[in-house]
């Protein structure tokens, strides 16, 4: 049984190792914005999006939608997109990282 600290370190490791831009980019079309912050945007899959409202920060590894207000990190995306619980999302991400 892993301690909570070890589990947190594992999550942090996955969060660092896996590019959120790549993960989201596999599902929706992301375009790099002109912003120096290294952001990408695309059509949000969580609401009826007509103009790209979903923003992904490459460095911060987070996403945010200006249309419907959803946002989060790698695990938040995975839970929402694949309709998983948090532990399921962690397992899903783990499989991707192999
Ligand atoms: Zn949205």
pLDDT in tens, 26-85: 999 999 999 888 899 999 999 999 999 999 999 999 999 999 999 999 999 999 999 999
Domain for residue 76, yes or no? yes
Centre of ligand 1 from the C-alpha of residue 55, in Å: 10
What is this structure's pTM?
A: 0.89
Domain for residue 32, yes or no? yes
Centre of ligand 1 from the C-alpha of residue 46, in Å: 5
Residue 80 lies in domain: 16-96
Centre of ligand 1 from the C-alpha of residue 43, in Å: 8
CATH number at residue 90: 3.90.580.10
Domain for residue 83, yes or no? yes
Q: Structural domain tally of the chain?
A: 1
Centre of ligand 1 from the C-alpha of residue 67, in Å: 5
Q: Distance (Å, rounded) from C-alpha 47 to C-alpha 59?
A: 25
Centre of ligand 1 from the C-alpha of residue 11, in Å: 25
E strand or H helix that includes residue 36? none
């Amino acid at each position: 049984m892993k301690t909570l600290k070890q589990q947190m370190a594992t999550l942090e490791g996955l969060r660092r190792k896996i590019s959120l831009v790549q993960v989201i980019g596999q599902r929706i079309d992301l375009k790099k914005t002109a912003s120096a912050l290294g952001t990408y945007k695309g059509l949000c899959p969580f609401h009826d999006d007509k103009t790209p409202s979903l923003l992904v920060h490459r460095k911060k590894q987070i996403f945010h939608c200006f249309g419907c207000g959803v946002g989060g990190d790698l695990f938040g995306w995975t839970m929402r997109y694949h309709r998983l619980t948090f532990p399921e999302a962690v397992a899903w991400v783990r499989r991707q990282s192999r």
